[in-house]
């Protein structure tokens, strides 16, 4: 159905364009280089025959595949993001193709002794006999979410080249800055004009997700006082030591490496400072809204108690909500999950319906009026040197997009 070499070539072309976003830049998009892929996609979408191709001033790309039906069905959408994570470099990606993988260790970089091993990454063993695309160990791959972009473009191209497949109007969008939490901020839901959509931004084959974390960021600033250490008794306030106390005051078992499933956490992901000032950067996550609010309260209460004990305002906590659990918005329209689930089964895919231990553009879009669950894009080990994607998973994801378009047309006939 989908040509393996064609989808491989398209994916490799996209990942070799650096689109890393920047969490510290308030501009939109946060990096100019995201425009480079956006312009390539605009050209390609026009070339394959998509209509109403538009790249707006905020680097959102929208396009339309017109209906080929003689009756009305809901307009649906498919969404992916063009940026890659700032957690690990995406510059100068050098992909490696492993044909007919046999469950062995994969040497990503012989010189640096970087190995992708099923002894550590057990999911590799699911893909024996398949073709894997990996990194060379010095960059991330960019399957998050250029696999999703590849699948959407390829699915649209396939539908255009096979007019015998009946479908309603389909809208697609590629967003910037998803990895820094801004991907849906300026998304124009009314302009997009879909009744519902799917983000192609999941991981392993079969994932179908409509629950995600409630999410917030927390910036903890500790202010100290520098004094010559020889004369510091009773005078110096070492912000680094107070920061250490603050970290130890949070539940030690509620961190990402010690939680799974629906369990929430506090994640300290950055720490910098000196005697005079230390800054702790956290993310706060929980699927349950009440527990999420309690986590934010706990962080503020710890700061309050510290300040009371020291008799001055040494610790300031700034918390910002990022996104909320989309489940509340999807439950009233569960038929959109049923459609995707049925298509997967028809394609020989076992649906893995589970909660996301993270978030997608879809979580924000659902709260903006566009119900938007998440479907697998096929990649594994996102945001790091061990990232890989089976080509067969990208093909299956493309088939799911085509299948959803076809099933919506049949269901509303």
Integer Cα distance of 84 and 143 in angstroms: 9
| H or E element in which residue 70 lies | none
Integer Cα distance of 8 and 14 in angstroms: 10
Q: Which of 209, 218, 188, 173 is nearest to 322 (CA)?
A: 218
Q: Count of CB atoms within 10 A of residue 103's CB? A: 11
Integer Cα distance of 278 and 244 in angstroms: 10
Contacts of 252 (CB under 8 A, 6+ apart): 258
Integer Cα distance of 376 and 183 in angstroms: 18
Secondary structure class of 373 (helix, strand, coil):
coil
Give Rg (Cα) of the chain. Answer: 23
What sign for the dihedral angle of Cα 353, 357, 360, 363? positive
Apex CA 168: angle with CA 165 and CA 174, to 5°? 100
What sign for the dihedral angle of Cα 184, 190, 193, 194? positive
Q: Which of 169, 177, 198 is nearest to 60 (CA)?
A: 177
Q: Find out whether 406 and 69 touch, Cβ atoms under 8 Å.
A: no
Hunting for tokens 């960019």 — which residue is that? 142
Is position 83 annotated as part of the catalytic site? yes
Contacts of 405 (CB under 8 A, 6+ apart): 76, 155, 159, 165, 167, 168, 170
Tell me the two tokens of residue 251: 């539940």
Is position 209 annotated as part of the catalytic site? no
Q: Which of 178, 207, 209, 387 is catalytic?
A: 178
DSSP result, 290-347: HHHHHHHHHHHHHHHHHHHHHTS--EEEEEEEEE--THHHHGGGTHHHHHHHHHHHHT
Q: Which of 18, 20, 22, 83 is catalytic?
A: 83
β-strand pairing of 196-202 with 76-81: parallel
Q: Find out whether 173 and 364 touch, Cβ atoms under 8 Å.
A: no
Angle subtended by helix axes 4-15 and 143-161, to nearest 10: 140
Tell me which residues are annotated as active site: 83, 178
């Amino acid at each position: 159905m989908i040509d393996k070499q064609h989808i491989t070539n398209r994916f490799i072309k996209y990942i070799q364009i650096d689109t890393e976003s920047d969490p510290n830049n308030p501009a939109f998009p946060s990096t100019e280089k995201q425009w480079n892929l956006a312009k390539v996609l605009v050209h390609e979408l026009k070339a394959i025959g998509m209509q109403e191709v538009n790249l707006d001033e905020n680097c959102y790309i929208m396009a339309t595949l017109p209906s080929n039906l003689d009756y009305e069905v809901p307009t649906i959408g498919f969404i992916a993001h063009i940026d890659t994570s700032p957690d690990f470099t995406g510059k100068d990606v050098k992909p490696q193709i492993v044909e007919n993988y046999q469950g062995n260790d994969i040497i990503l970089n012989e010189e640096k002794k970087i190995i992708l091993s099923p002894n550590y990454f057990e999911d590799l063993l699911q893909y024996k006999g398949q073709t894997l695309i990996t990194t060379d160990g010095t960059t991330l791959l960019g399957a998050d979410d250029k696999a999703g972009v590849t699948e959407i473009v390829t699915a649209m191209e396939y539908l255009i080249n096979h007019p015998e497949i009946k479908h309603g109007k389909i809208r697609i969008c590629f967003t910037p800055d998803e990895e820094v939490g801004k991907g849906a901020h300026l998304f124009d839901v009314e302009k997009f004009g879909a009744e519902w959509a799917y983000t192609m931004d999941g991981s392993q084959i079969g994932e179908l997700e409509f629950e995600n974390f409630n999410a917030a960021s927390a910036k903890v600033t500790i202010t100290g006082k520098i004094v010559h250490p020889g004369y510091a008794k009773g005078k110096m306030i070492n912000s680094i030591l107070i920061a250490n106390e603050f970290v130890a005051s949070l539940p030690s078992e509620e961190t990402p490496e010690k939680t799974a499933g629906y369990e929430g956490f506090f994640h300290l992901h950055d720490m910098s400072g000196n005697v005079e000032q230390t800054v702790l950067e956290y993310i706060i996550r929980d699927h349950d809204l009440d527990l999420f609010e309690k986590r934010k309260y706990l962080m503020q209460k710890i700061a309050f108690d510290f300040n009371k004990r020291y008799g001055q305002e040494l610790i300031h906590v700034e918390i910002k909500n990022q996104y909320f659990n989309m489940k509340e918005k999807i439950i009233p329209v569960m038929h959109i999950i049923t459609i995707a689930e049925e298509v997967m089964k028809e394609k020989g895919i076992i649906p893995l319906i589970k909660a996301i231990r993270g978030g997608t553009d879809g979580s924000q879009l659902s709260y903006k009026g566009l119900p938007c669950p998440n479907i697998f894009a096929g990649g594994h080990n996102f945001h790091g040197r061990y990232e890989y994607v089976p080509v067969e998973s990208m093909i299956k994801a493309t088939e799911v997009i085509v299948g959803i378009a076809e099933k919506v047309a049949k269901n509303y006939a």
